[in-house]
Amino acid sequence: MEESRMRLVPLMSVVAVSAILAQAEPTIGGHEPAWASDWDAALEEARERKAPLFVVIPHHRGSFGSVVYPEQLEDKTVLQLCQNFVCMIADDKRFPDVAKHIAVEYHKGKYGAYGQKLQIIFCRPDGTEFEEHHLVGDDISVAELTETMRKMMRLYPQAVPCDKFLMYKALRDRAKRALTELLFNVAKKTLQKLGKAKYRMDMVEWAQDTL
């Protein structure tokens, strides 16, 4: 019986480490931007990533009709550029918290009723809008959209791309979980990897200070 218990200890450690590694893998959708689902978390992410906001108020069918996702967002170049933004869309069913704040913060009556026209809004990481770059109308061209997105990117050359941020966030979560589980070797290796990141973020500084 004692021998069986001794065999189980290393096995349990392997299982624990495997669970941490599995939970750390980020999931990134390839057919649409990585839409934020929580308003406060999105602003915190924008601050951490030093990235501007990409806010979409899509066209609605009727006063309370379904949301029509813009065809412009299916363009491969647009999707690629979205990696450099924190993306939000006013979809009441999928992202009610974000949609509520978008309606309050960014909808302007001069563009018609809410959801009457497609609106694409660019904001600073703190959420304040670049009103001069407000795009309106269902006929916004992909060329106009990508040009405006690149203008925003030039203002934030140090912005951390979304896929990189998710990878580093996964490393941070893995390290914290390993420390909680007293898996110090896993924690050390993960912290070292995170600490070598070329981007300046709070989580990178935390990893460097924790080592």
Question: Does the pTM of the predicted model rise above 0.95?
Answer: no
Q: Domain ranges in the chain?
A: 39-155, 160-211
pLDDT of residue 15: 42
Which pairs from 61-64 meet CB under 8 Å and 24+ separation? 63/113
The pLDDT confidence band at residue 201, using thresholds 50, 70 and 90, is confident
pLDDT of residue 108: 73
- Residue 137, phi-psi category: left (phi > 0), alpha (psi -120 to 50), beta (remainder): left
- Report which of 117, 113, 112, 122 is spatially closest to residue 144, judged by C-alpha positions: 122
Is 90 exceeded by the pLDDT of residue 156? yes
pLDDT of residue 144: 97
- Report which of 87, 81, 57 is spatially closest to residue 146, judged by C-alpha positions: 81
The pLDDT confidence band at residue 30, using thresholds 50, 70 and 90, is low
The string of pLDDT tens digits covering residues 62-90 is 656 688 899 999 999 999 999 999 999 99
pLDDT of residue 58: 92
The string of pLDDT tens digits covering residues 94-119 is 999 999 999 988 877 767 777 788 99
pLDDT of residue 116: 81
Number of residues written out for the chain = 211
CA 95, chain centre distance (Å): 13
Angle, CA of 41, 106 and 113, to the nearest 5°: 135
pLDDT of residue 198: 87
The domain 39-155 is classified under which CATH number: 3.40.50.720, 3.40.30.10, 1.10.630.10, 3.30.420.10?
Answer: 3.40.30.10
The string of pLDDT tens digits covering residues 171-184 is 999 999 999 998 98
Mean pLDDT on 28-42: 84
**CA torsion sign, 170 to 48 to 92 to 152?**
negative
Find tokens 């109308």 and name the residue: 137
